[in-house]
Structure 1
Amino acid sequence: MRPVILALALALPLAAHAGDRVTGKSFATRSEVIAPHGMVATSQPLATQIGLDVLKAGGTAVDAAIAANAALGLMEPTGSGIGGDLFAIVWDAKTGKLHGYNGSGRSPKSLTLQWFAEHGYKDVPPTGPLPVSVPGCVDGWFALHGRFGKLPMTRLLAPTVEYAKNGFPVSELIAHYWALSVPKLSKYPGFAEQYTKNGKAPAKGEMWKNPNLANTLEAIGKGGRDAFYKGAIAKTIGDYMKANAGFLSADDLAAHTGEWVEPLSTNYRGYDVWELPPNGQGVAALTMLNILEAYDLKALGFGSTEYVHLFTEAKKLAFADRAQYFADPAFARAPLKGLVDKGYAAERRKLIGPRAAQSVEAGHPPLEGGDTIYLTTADRWGNMVSLIQSNYRGMGSGMAPTGLGFILQDRGEMFVLKDGHPNAFAPGKRPFHTIIPAFITKNGKPWVSFGVMGGAMQPQGHVQIVANLVDFGMNLQEAGDAPRIQHDGSTEPTGQNTAMSDGGEINLEAGFAYETVRGLMQKGHKVTWADGPYGGYQAILWDDVNKVYVGASEGRKDGQAAGY
Structure 2
Amino acid sequence: MRDFQFPGRSPVRATEAMAATSHPLATLAAIDMLRSGGNAMDAAVCAAAVQAVVEPQSTGIGGDCFVLYCPKGQGEVLAFNGSGRAPAAATVEWYLENGFSELPKQGPHAVTIPGAVDAWCRLLEDHGRKGIADALAPASHYAENGYVVHDRVAFDWEDPETDLSLDEAAARIFLPGGKPPRAGDVHRQPELAETLRIIARSGRAGFYEGAVAEDIVGRLRHLGGLHTLDDFAATKGDYKTPVGISYGGYGIHQMPPNNQGLTALLMLNVLSGFELSALDPNGAERLHLEIEAGRLAYRDRDNLIGDQDHVAVPVKELLSGAYADRLRAAIDRERAMTNLPRLELPGSDTVYISVVDRDRNAVSFINSTYYSFGSGVVGPKTGVVMQNRGSSFRLDPNHPNSIAPGKRPMHTIMPGMMTKNGRAVMPFGVMGGGYQPFGHVHLLTNMIDFGMDPQQALDAPRVFYNNDVVETERNVRADAVEGLRSRGHQLVEPHHPLGGGQAVLIDWEKGTLTGASDPRKDGLALGY
Interval of TM-score (by shorter of Structure 1 and Structure 2): over 0.9
Q: Write the deviation string for residues 310-362 of structure 1: whole angstroms up to 9, x where unpaired.
A: 11111111111111111111121111111111221112211112321122379
- The answer to whether the Cα contact below 8 Å between 1:32 and 1:550 also exists between their aligned partners in 2 is yes
* Residues 464-473 or 353-362, more deviating: 353-362
Q: Establish whether residue 81 from structure 1 lines up as the match of residue 45 from structure 2.
A: no
* Amino acid aligned to 1:403: K
**Partner SS for 1:40:** strand
RMSD: 1.7
1:158-557 to 2 correspondences below 5 Å? 158-181=137-160, 184-353=163-332, 354-360=334-340, 370-489=348-467, 504-557=468-521
The residue correspondences of 1:53-72 to structure 2 (distance < 5 A) are 53-72=32-51
Larger mean CA deviation between 407-416 and 299-308 belongs to 299-308
Report the Cα offset of residue 266 of structure 1.
0.7
CA distance in 1, matches of 2:204, 2:498: 34
Q: Deviations over 1:15-38 (max 9, x none)?
A: x973436xxxxxx71011011111
Equivalent residues, number: 522
Once the two structures are superposed, residues 201-234 of structure 1 have per-residue CA deviations (whole angstroms, 9 ceiling, x without a partner) of: 2221111111111111111111111121122211
Range that drifts further, 513-522 or 63-72: 513-522
Q: What is the identity, as a one-letter code, of the residue corresponding to 1:405?
A: G
Secondary structure, in 3 states, of the residue corresponding to 2:183?
Answer: coil
Q: Is the 8 A contact 1:83 1:408 kept in 2?
A: yes
Counterpart of 2:502, as a letter, is Q
Q: Is the 8 A contact 2:106 2:162 kept in 1?
A: no
Mapped to 2, the partners of 1:151 and 1:392 lie a distance apart of 28
Which residue identity is paired with 2:94? W
- 1:276-315 alpha-carbon deviations (Å, 9 max, x no partner): 1011100110111011011111111212222122111111
Identity of aligned residues (%): 40
3-state DSSP of counterpart to 2:464? strand
Q: CA deviation at 1:185?
A: 1.6
Pick from 94, 99, 102: which aligns with 1:120? Answer: 99
1:20 is the counterpart of 2:5: yes
Q: 1:195 to 1:351 in 2, by over 3 A?
A: same
Secondary structure in 2 matching 1:467 = helix
Per-residue displacement from partner, 1:435-478 (whole Å, max 9, x unpaired)?
00001111211111110000110000000001100111111100
The alignment partner of 2:194 has SS state of: helix
For the residues of structure 1 that align with 2:438 and 2:316, how far apart are their CA atoms?
20
Further displaced range: 511-520 or 32-41: 511-520
Distance in 1, Cα, partners of 2:215 & 2:126: 29
- The answer as to whether partners of 1:281 and 1:435 remain within 8 angstroms in 2 is yes
Q: Is the 8 A contact 1:237 1:249 kept in 2?
A: no
User: How far apart in 2 are the matches of 1:85 and 1:262?
Assistant: 18
Amino acid paired to 1:538: Q
Is the 1:480–1:537 contact (alpha carbons within 8 Å) kept by the matching residues of 2? yes
TM-score by length of 1: 0.90
The Cα shift of 1:533 comes to 4.4
The one-letter amino acid paired with 2:284 is T
C-alpha separation in 2, matches of 1:515 and 1:126: 38
**Which amino acid in 2 is paired with 1:414?**
S
- Change in Cα spacing, 1:152 to 1:474, as seen in structure 2 (3 Å) is same
TM-score between the two structures when normalised by the length of structure 2:
0.96
Residue of structure 1 in register with 2:82 after alignment? 103
- Evaluate the alpha carbon distance shift between residue 526 and residue 47 of structure 1 in structure 2; reply closer, same or farther with a 3 A threshold: same
Partners of 2:296 and 2:39 lie apart in 1 by: 40
Deviates more, 1:59-68 or 1:543-552: 543-552
What is the CA–CA distance in structure 2 between the aligned matches of 1:434 and 1:94, rounded to whole Å? 26
- What are the superposed Cα offsets for residues 357-413 of structure 1, whole Å, 9 maximum, x if unpaired? 122379xxxxxxx31111111111110111111000100011101211221001100
CA contact (8 A) 1:268 1:290 kept: yes
CA distance in 1, matches of 2:385, 2:139: 17
| Offset of residue 85 of structure 1 | 0.4
In the TM superposition, what whole-angstrom CA distance separates every residue of 1:78-134 from its partner, at most 9, and x where no partner exists? 100000000010111176321001101111122321222223222111111111110
How far off its partner does 1:560 sit? 1.1
Paired residue secondary structure (2:418): strand
3-state SS, counterpart of residue 181 of structure 1: coil
Separation (CA, whole Å) in 2 of partners of 1:544 and 1:85: 32
Runs of 5+ unmatched residues, structure 1: 1-15, 22-27, 363-369, 490-503
| 1:99–1:261 CA contact under 8 A, matched in 2 | yes
In structure 1, give the amino acid aligned to 2:44.
Answer: A
Displacement of 1:520: 2.0
Residue in structure 1 matched with residue 527 of structure 2 by the alignment: 563
Do the aligned partners of 1:182 and 1:196 also contact (CA within 8 Å) in 2? no
Q: Deviations over 1:122-156 (max 9, x none)?
A: 21111111111100000110121111100122111
Instruction: Give the structure 2 partner of residue 497 of structure 1.
Output: none
CA contact (8 A) 2:264 2:441 kept: yes
Partner Cα separation in structure 2 for residue 380 and residue 32 of structure 1: 19
Aligned residue identity for 1:453: M
1:17 to 1:214, Cα distance in 2 relative to 1, 3 A: closer
